[in-house]
Chains A and B, each alone.
Chain A
Amino acid sequence: MSTEPLIRWDWIPDHWDDIREATFEHLQLTGSSVAIGFVIAMAMAVISIRWRFLYAPLAAVSGALYAIPSLALFALLVPFTGLGYRSAQIALVSYTLLILLRNIVAGIDGVPQSVKDAADGMGYEPWRRFIAVDLRLATPTIVGGLRIATVTIIGLVTVAALVGSGGYGTFIDDGLSRDFPTPIVVGAGLSIAMAVVFDVLFVLLQRILTPWTRVQTAQEA
């Protein structure tokens, strides 16, 4: 080990196919978890806004799920849903809930009451106002939540490899078990790179979806 370099560059072209497959798995697991999590969180947010007293318990439950260590949650699911994709996905979805729920509710709460009143005054039906005004104006905060959730999940997917769901974590696990640093560095590096890429993509998406926020900052400056 003492003579082993941190990274052997020739390892990468030799494992090109593995890397491509792991990238696909990592993306798939991240994308599906965030998407499912978003649907559930949105439903929870709508319920929380309609029946305010339900927000605290819903937030507490998602908070408790969030606090459970990832390895423990993955492991707890394995006896019931088996090693692999499904256990990983259930755990990952549960981690997105707190972030997304908080951001959706905070975003909608942040819409000025005067704007909501004006929309009501112009004759929007309640559901239509919710979609066209409340959700639309909450977009920056909601996209911000998706950004944090996605980047967080990309990191957690590496841990999910321990329960056999594939992704970059497989390289890290492999490197650890063989005392061989190269796959660890490659797996960690790729995971970080993917997180950074998505971070930037979400910032861009946020700009495209919310042109009005740029106008405001221009005026403030």
Chain B
Amino acid sequence: MLQEALDYLTDADSWWGRNGLVNLLWNHVRLSVFTVVVAVVATIPPALWFGHRRRGGDVAVTIVNLSRAVPTFAIIALVFPFSLRYGFGLGFWPTFVALFFLALPPIFVNVYLGVSEIDRDVVEAARAMGMREREVLLDVELPAAMPLIATGVRISAVQVVATTTLGALVGFRCLGSPILQGLSTRDYGKVIVAATIVAVLSLLTEAFFALLARRLTPWARSDVAAARVQTSGAGAGSEFAV
């Protein structure tokens, strides 16, 4: 079986062309990055605002619980018929919409918690020193929440990269495509190679964001931030919102 994988790996046709691994990888990464960027842009401002006002904690907890109960496979599958009905077609759009909903909760919840759980004294001190609300938010709350924000984006990104694979089910050509093809034709060499690439891609995403977080927040030890998430109101949920 490993021989089959090796054969597939060394065959130039596996790599190049419209359905080659390079093109599929590029599609995969492109959609993932696009989704995460859109999710970050769409989620961070409202989450910051809720956190700044310290309102909406119940909303955050509800979002985490709901998102955990709704399987990603089901989101993609449910978006699919709508996409067809309203003319968005196969592939990109149903996958994007499903991934977008998947990407929101971890970012929203972690940004919200990151801001709303900053020590009240710190925020009071900022106001007492004469910062305007905008300065409090951008100069104190946003950077102080950065460890949790980074955690939220990391969880989101890893999930998006992983779940993009399922886009193959609704006709999006990505690294999931050779896996599904291989499974149905019992071409296991293909399956092993594609699945390994996806797995490595996920691990690299995780590692990339972990490093990025460390660079962005030299003052925070990552285990402190993790402990805060664990003990926070949403329980360990924000770390494991699948």
Chain A contact residues, CB within 8 Å of chain B? 1-2, 4, 6, 63-64, 67-73, 75-76, 78-80, 83, 98-99, 102-103, 106, 141, 144-145, 148, 151-152, 154-156, 158-159, 162-163, 169, 172-173, 175-176, 179, 181, 184-185, 187-188, 191-192, 195-196, 199
Contact = CB atoms under 8 A, between A and B. Distances in A.
Contacts, number: 154
Contacts of A176: 77, 80, 169-170
B87 to A, nearest CB: 10
Nearest to A191: B71
Contact of A69 (B1, B163, B230): B163
A151 B73 contact: no
13 contacts: A68-B203, A69-B161, A71-B166, A72-B196, A79-B188, A106-B227, A155-B73, A155-B74, A156-B71, A159-B71, A176-B80, A184-B78, A187-B77
Given A69-B163, A75-B195, A102-B236, 15 more contacts: A67-B162, A69-B199, A72-B165, A73-B195, A76-B191, A76-B192, A76-B199, A78-B191, A83-B183, A102-B239, A106-B236, A148-B240, A172-B77, A188-B77, A192-B71
Interface of B: 1, 65, 68-75, 77-78, 80-81, 84-85, 158, 161-163, 165-166, 169-170, 176, 179-180, 182-183, 188, 191-192, 194-196, 198-199, 202-203, 205-206, 227, 230, 235-237, 239-240, 242
A144 B235 contact: yes
The secondary-structure label for the interface of chain A is helix
Q: Which of B74, B163, B236 has the most CB of A within 10 A?
A: B74
